[in-house]
Amino acid sequence: MADTSRRAFLGLFAAGTAGLGLVGCSLVGQGGTGARGADSEAVADSPPARGSRTLVTYFSHPYTDESVNSAEELDNSRTEVGGKVYGNVEYAATLIQRRTGGDLFRIETADPLPESHQETLDVTESERRENARPELKKLVENIDDYDAVFVGYPIWWYDLPMPMYSFLEQQDLKGKKVILFSVHGGNELAETVETITDGLTESTVVQNAFTISRDDMDSVESELNTWLNTLGYKA
């Protein structure tokens, strides 16, 4: 990413967190609403070009493939389908990849987050307070091969997880169409669409972003299909 975009992200984060103090919430908030786009009536500027290549990137936690029902806090963050356990965002990304025929890339930190819910809360709160940029395991090496890049993430502390700032600042998305999707626990998209749009000044960030409550994951496939139709990804 260009240096101007990096500075934009740094400035936006500092402004958004000034005076925030300790946030009394879970990683993804409380309660929940159904799926929606950032602008329910908006559609993509144009349908995907014939022959264009699509990449689906996502950050998802927990990493475990342990069966659900082991701990309520972990179960809120994952979905079991056909005997396989996915992180909520991971499952949404998998569905998008199947529908679009794109490639799939998982954004991972070099040091995995703990599986314990409380330990994860402690780590992520510390990262946020310090405006940290956790080291990533790797970036997409062949990013120039793609025209459209889906970017998926959970809402943590009313914002993007800090590893997402690392990814968006370090991965060159210049000239790409960037399409956002998320899973939340009550805060919908928060202000993440605005943050990413203002940070990726040399990308086209589609404003019709997708979000769904962790409580509504049973309907995520149908909701995603409806949304993808609006973007020109016809079944």
Domain boundaries, the chain: 3-230
Q: Report the half-sphere exposure of 167 (CA within 13 A, side-chain side).
A: 26
Are 49 and 147 in contact by the 8 Å Cβ rule? The answer is yes
What is the SS3 assignment for 227? Answer: helix
Instruction: HSE, CB side, 13 Å, CA atoms: give it for residue 94.
Output: 13
Residue 8: pLDDT over 80: no
Lowest mean pLDDT among 31-35, 59-63, 177-181: 31-35
Helices (H), the chain: 3-17, 72-75, 88-100, 117-129, 162-170, 192-199, 220-230
CB 207 within 8 A of CB 39: yes
Tens digits of residue pLDDT in 89-142:
999 999 999 999 999 999 999 998 887 777 888 898 899 999 999 999 999 999
Distance CA 209, CA 180 (A): 5
Q: Which positions ≥6 away from 208 have C-beta within 8 Å?
A: 37, 38, 39, 42, 43, 44, 227, 230, 231
Alpha carbons 224 and 217: distance in angstroms, whole number: 11
Domain 3-230 of CATH type 3.40.50.150: no
The confidence band for 61, taking pLDDT boundaries of 50, 70 and 90, is confident
Tokens encoding 52: 């264009």
- The DSSP output letter for 143 is G
220/183 Cα distance (integer angstroms): 10
| Length in residues, the chain | 235
Q: Tell me the pTM.
A: 0.79
How many CA atoms lie less than 13 Å away from 155 in the CB half-sphere?
Answer: 28
**DSSP H or E segment with residue 151:** strand 148-154
Average pLDDT (156-185) is 95
The confidence band for 16, taking pLDDT boundaries of 50, 70 and 90, is very low
Average pLDDT rounded to a whole number, residues 43-60: 70
Burial label, 41 (beta-carbon count in 10 A; 0-12, 13-18, 19+): exposed
Stronger pLDDT, 2 or 192, i.e. the higher one: 192
